[in-house]
Chain A
Amino acid sequence: MSITQTNQLLTFKLGNETYGIEINKVREILTYPVVTPIPDASRWVKGVINLRGEVAPIIDLRIRFSINNEPIYNEQTIIIAVKTQDARMIGLVVDEVSDMENVEMDKLYPAPDMGTSIAPKYLKGLFKKDDKMIVILDIDKILDKEEMQHLSRHSNEVSLNVHTASA
């Protein structure tokens, strides 16, 4: 799959890897606010915040894709607020926002079957900048409504008090 509408990426870090999302999906970049936890949500759903008057969930991509299962949240923690194709506003927790990149279309590689922390079905492709590799995320796949519905509930394990807010 290739990107045709946009050629600007916002790049950020999850662990040591650099990732990118199309800039037209991004609504806002904010520091980690006070998050209200949702009682029955999975660990990677940190809770909800007020984002421009809407109740928006905060999703930690690092936990979601097992990049860092015990992340810390402090003033340096960044949230990228994105708007999905079906107009849902969602905040993504990332380690640091790096830069803006112009995507050169002829340098976009298909996502490899293995070797990335995130399954290829969630990726749009790889982009090589100098000697760096940027993994371009498919936000609409990652935040797919159906998938969020059933993945975001914590499993039936007796998880007493596991995920009370660490924020």
Chain B
Amino acid sequence: MAAFDINKYRQMFLEETQDLFETIDSILLEAESYGDMDSDTINSLFRAVHTLKGNSASVELAHFAALTHEIEFFMDKLRNGELAFEESMAELLIDSIDTLKHILELELKEELEYEHFLTTKINLLDRLSSYTENTQTQIEEQNEPLDTPAFGLLLPSAKGIYGAIDTSCNIDYNEAVELECDGDFFGFFDDDEDIKSTSKDDDSFGFFDDVEIDDDFFGLFDDANTSKDEEYFGFFDDNIVQKKPDIALIKNEEKSVSPKENTKSKVDTNANSSIRVDLSKIDTLMNSIGELVIAHSMLSQYTYMMNDQKIKSDLNERLDLIDRYIRELQEAVMSVRMIPMETVFSKFPKIIRDTAKRLNKKIDFRHYGDNVEIDKAMIEGLTDPLTHIVRNAMDHGIESIDKRKAAGKSESGTLLMSAEQANGQIIIKIQDDGGGINIEKVTAKALQNGIIDEAQASAMSDDDKAMLIFAPGLSTAEAVTDISGRGVGMDVVMSNIKQLGGDVKVETEQGFGSTFTIILPLTLAILDGLNVRVGAEQFILPLSSIIETLKPESSMIKQIGDEGSEVLMLREEFIPIVRLHSVFNVIPQNYKLIEGLLIVVRSGAKKIALFIDEFMNQQQFVIKPLDKNFRNAHGIGGATVRGDGTIGLIIDTMNITQNTNRRAS
């Protein structure tokens, strides 16, 4: 194997690839809807694909790179005018990009089978060549070198490898139509012998210099690639151009990095002066600021003990100044974590297009609030639930074209996505104009699955019933499709959003569509919480989970079973009581429920009532993980540093019930 850790670079590659794919997708989707592409667009498309190829080869994803090369080659023809853009090309290219993603996934997992790769490639070539019939011969010429998927860029940092190059083969495709490279001519990296044995099969390795494309593109091979090459047939017979590796070559490699950067800046004009920063570095910054805040409060505390009023007020004045700067610093660092919602929205046109195609529905997708900013750390957790809601809305919500016509609606369904910021929260809405949720059906299913009983059902409002779709194991889809309908999904949506400290609501109107509202805290790092006291200990309860607090009367409390499980009877509803002191092993002030307080909280789809002694103040807390240095604890979702520098524990209401369930069983 190569002498450097490829995975380190693959991570970088993947991040960049994600961006590139998004760029490519959005260009293609636009081209599809307009039915045309101007030369600038074609150029940026070409550059994106070209970068993709170069990057992938550099991280030894040979098969992926080979396929990318095919598409790049096709796009090059578009670019230099050999081919004229046709409307149907956009679809072909979108499909091709999907194929690429698929191959990339397999290759990364090392599950890519050679046969599968070959079939995929032949299919791709077939489709591409249907446009290039007249230039068929040229394609063949160009294709053959691609059977050696081993071209690549060496990352400049992988210096160790340069030294290992013995001899190299440089192939200029403009001249070399068919090539044969004898293994002796090539320079390889570690396992020379290995390579020689494979190269007996007339494999071709070497440097590519696509002068024609005008972008320098060079590749070096290592034995990982050559072992795959064994399976390729050698198409290359003569006209070999060989070069010993010399300084010029190495220079070229360095140069080859620059077109990559150029491409990026041209493709993504927003990113011309941005850098990629590891989130952990920002967390470190936040931590330091947190420390600064605590140090500051210690100092202000100290001034209270001073006797000299003059010094005291002078000092306080300066402390106030420092306080202001700390706040500014804090805001600045927080803003670094924030990225516009556009990043989230931009994923959807593609998903919606693909899903609409499969479902044979027409969807008009619109999004608002692109500039609303959201915590970067939240985006990962948000994409999956959003995708699920969108797919669900398209599959079950929006009706088929015929049904829509019959209902007097326009042929294409509308899907609206919006983001707004209000009251320190982010509100994301997904709205469809489909048939709405069939509440009777959902209720019937919930009754059948034992999620609710008759009494509960009759007490529920329509909105409550609609919320039942978030209960685990509930799917009303008559047919399970490959898009949605397995009944695992909406409950996952709920729990994912909960994990982000948010909440999901659904409103629906039969025949007119549904609106999903996701409410998220502005940032993952800060939480609104209520301090609750149990005995001598204080815990923090996330405000978003609290439904109501009450002082129970003895008539409201019922004992169930001989185990002494207690339930709270609240407006015809039975809510299990969880004694926080026994979950957290502390001595409470009150053992009798009527002497303390009950807080009704959401725990997943259910409600529970937590028994506490007293509730204290409400406050914002900076969340810190407990398991970074230690491990997670039952019923605890995280920790925070309180004003006095001690640690406060944040209650995880979901986790608490799991704990009590297990104890009961």
Interface residues in chain A, defined as those with a beta carbon under 8 Å from any beta carbon in chain B: 33-34, 36-41, 45, 47-50, 52-57, 88-90, 148-149, 152, 159-165
* 16 more CB-based (< 8 A) A-B contacts, given A39-B636, A164-B535: A33-B646, A34-B644, A34-B646, A38-B626, A39-B635, A50-B294, A50-B645, A50-B647, A52-B291, A53-B287, A53-B624, A54-B629, A55-B629, A148-B630, A160-B582, A162-B585
Residue from the list B585, B625, B629 in contact with A90, Cβ < 8 A: B629
B287 near A54: Cβ-Cβ < 8 Å: yes
Select from chain B the residue with minimum beta-carbon distance to A163: B585
Interface residues of B in 498-515 (CB under 8 A from A): none
Question: CB-CB < 8 A to B281: which residues of A?
Answer: none
Residues of B within 8 A of A149 (CB): 631
CB pair A48 B288 closer than 8 Å: no
CA distance A25 to B626 in the complex (A): 21
Point out residues on B near A: beta carbons under 8 Å: 287-288, 290-291, 294, 535-537, 582-587, 624-626, 628-631, 633-636, 639, 641, 644-649
Expressed in whole angstroms, the Cα–Cα distance for A41 and B291 within the complex equals 27
8 contacts between A and B (CB under 8 A): A36-B646, A39-B583, A39-B636, A41-B633, A48-B647, A49-B647, A50-B646, A164-B537
A55:B646 contact, CB within 8 angstroms? no
Residues of A within 8 A of B647 (CB): 36, 47-50, 55
User: Known: A164-B536, A164-B587. Contact between A49 and B646, CB under 8 A?
Assistant: yes
Q: Known contacts being A37-B537, A38-B636, A39-B634, is A56 close to B629, with CB within 8 Å?
A: yes
A148 touches B631 (CB 8 A): yes
B-side contacts of A164, CB under 8 Å: 535-537, 585-587
Residues of A contacting B625 with CB < 8 Å?
Answer: 55
> Which one of A50, A152, A159 lies within 8 Å of B641 (CB-CB)?
A50
Asked if A39 and B628 make an inter-chain contact with CB atoms under 8 angstroms apart, the answer reads no
**In the complex, chain B residues whose CB is within 8 Å of the CB of A57:** 629-630
Query: What residues of chain A lie closer than 8 Å to B584, measured between beta carbons?
Result: 39
Chain B residues closer than 8 Å to A39, beta-carbon distance:
583-586, 633-636, 649
Whether A160 lies near B585 (C-beta < 8 A) is: yes
Report the minimal beta-carbon distance from B45 to chain A, rounded to whole angstroms.
Answer: 43
Q: Give the nearest-CB partner of A36 in chain B.
A: B647
Q: Please, how many angstroms separate the alpha-carbon atoms of A162 and B582 in the complex? A: 12
A54 close to B636 (CB less than 8 A) = no
How many contacts A-B (CB < 8 Å)? Answer: 94
Q: Which residues of A contact B646 (CB under 8 A)?
A: 33-34, 36, 49-50
Q: CA of A48 to CA of B586 in the docked complex: distance in angstroms? A: 16
Name which of A39, A45, A56 has the most chain B CB atoms within 10 A of its CB: A39
CB distance from A72 to the nearest CB of B (A): 19
- CA–CA, A25 and B309, complex, Å: 45
A58: nearest residue on chain B (CB-CB)? B630
What's the least CB distance linking B660 to chain A, in Å?
13
Tell me, rounded to whole Å, the shortest Cβ–Cβ distance linking A70 to chain B.
19
Question: Which residues from chain B contact A88 at a C-beta distance below 8 Å?
Answer: 628-630
> Which residue, of A37, A45, A89, A159, has the highest number of chain B Cβ atoms within 10 A?
A37
- Name B's interface SS: loop
Q: How far is the CB of A49 from chain B (nearest CB, A)?
A: 6
B118 CB to nearest chain A CB (Å): 43
| Cβ contact of A161, chosen from B288, B586, B629, B649, cutoff 8 A | B586
| Interchain CA distance A141-B513 in the complex, whole Å | 59
In the complex, what distance in Å separates the CA atom of A57 from the CA atom of B635? 17
B630-A56 in contact (CB<8A)? yes
Contact B585 A54 (CB under 8 A): no
Q: Which of B287, B290, B626 is close to A48, meaning CB atoms less than 8 Å apart?
A: B626
A50-B646, A52-B287 known; A38 vs B630 contact (CB < 8 Å): yes
CA distance in complex: A164, B584 (Å): 10
CA distance A165 to B537 in the complex (A): 9
Q: Which residue of A lies closest to B647 (CB)?
A: A36
A54 touches B634 (CB 8 A): no
**Complex CA–CA separation, A149 to B645 (angstroms):** 26
Distance in angstroms from B563 CB to nearest chain A CB is 14
Residue of B nearest to A49 (CB): B647
In the complex the two chains form, is B634's CB within 8 Å of A40's CB?
yes
B656 CB, nearest partner CB in chain A, Å: 10
A139 nearest CB across to chain B (Å):
13
CB distance from A130 to the nearest CB of B (A): 37
User: Complex: how many Å from CA A163 to CA B536?
Assistant: 13
CB distance from B21 to the nearest CB of A (A): 33
Which 4 pairs between the two chains have the least Cβ-Cβ distance? A53-B287, A39-B584, A57-B630, A36-B647
Residue contact B287 to A161, C-beta cutoff 8 Å: no
Task: Tell me, in angstroms, the Cα distance from A88 to B583 when the chains sit together.
Answer: 27
Q: How far is the CA of A148 from the CA of B628 in the complex (A)?
A: 13
Q: Residues of B contacting A165 with CB < 8 Å?
A: 536-537
Q: How far is the CA of A69 from the CA of B628 in the complex (A)?
A: 28
Cross-chain contact B645 with A54 (CB below 8 angstroms) = no
A39 vs B636: C-alpha distance when bound (angstroms): 9
Measured between C-beta atoms, what is the minimum distance from A140 to chain B in Å?
14
Contact B631 A152 (CB under 8 A): yes
Smallest CB-CB separation from A160: which chain B residue? B585
Chain B residue with minimal CB distance to A47?
A: B647
With contacts A37-B537, A49-B646, A55-B625 taken as known, whether A161 is within 8 angstroms of B639 at the C-beta atoms is no
- Contact B639–A55 (Cβ < 8 Å): yes
CA distance A109 to B638 in the complex (A): 43
Closest residue of A by beta carbon distance from B625: A55
Contact B633 A40 (CB under 8 A): yes
Expressed in whole angstroms, the minimum distance between the Cβ of A117 and any Cβ of chain B is 24
Closest to B641 in A: A50
In chain B, what residue has the closest Cβ to A150?
A: B631
The interface residues of chain B lying within 8 Å CB-to-CB of A47 are 647
Cβ A40 vs Cβ B585 within 8 A: yes
Bound-state CA distance A33–B585 (Å) is: 21
Whether B628 and A55, one on each chain, are in contact in the complex, defined by CB atoms closer than 8 angstroms, is yes
Q: What residues of chain B lie closer than 8 Å to A45, measured between beta carbons?
A: 630
Chain B proximity of A50: nearest CB distance (Å): 5
Q: Closest CB-CB distance, A161 to chain B, in whole Å?
A: 5
Contact in complex: B629, A36 (CB < 8 Å) = no
Instruction: Say yes or no: B633 contacts A38, CB within 8 Å.
Output: yes
Q: Is the CB of A36 within 8 A of B649?
A: yes
Chain A nearest CB: distance from B536 CB in Å? 7
A152-B631, A164-B535 known; A54-B586 Cβ under 8 A: no
Q: Please name all residues of chain A whose beta carbon is closer than 8 Å to the beta carbon of B585 when the two chains form the complex.
A: 39-40, 159-164
Contact A53 B290, beta carbon cutoff 8 Å: yes
Q: How far is the CB of A53 from chain B (nearest CB, A)?
A: 3
Bound-complex Cα distance A162 to B585 (A): 8
Tell whether, in the assembled complex, residue A89 and residue B629 are in contact, meaning their CB atoms are under 8 Å apart: yes
Q: A36 near B648 (CB under 8 angstroms)?
A: yes
Nearest-CB distance from A55 to chain B (Å)? Answer: 4
Asked whether B587 lies within 8 Å of A161 as measured between CB atoms, the reply is yes
Residue of A nearest to B290 (CB): A53
Q: Which residues of B contact A36 (CB under 8 A)?
A: 639, 646-649
- How long is the Cα–Cα vector from A118 to B625 in the complex, in angstroms? 31
Question: In the complex, what residue of chain B is closest to A37 when comparing beta carbons?
Answer: B537
Contacts of B290 in A (CB 8 A): 53
Q: What chain B residues lie within 8 Å of A161 (beta carbons)?
A: 585-587
Q: Please, how many angstroms separate the alpha-carbon atoms of A48 and B537 in the complex?
A: 13
CA distance A38 to B586 in the complex (A): 10
Q: Nearest chain B CB to A56's CB is how many angstroms away?
A: 5
A38-B633, A39-B634, A163-B585 known; A48 vs B639 contact (CB < 8 Å): yes
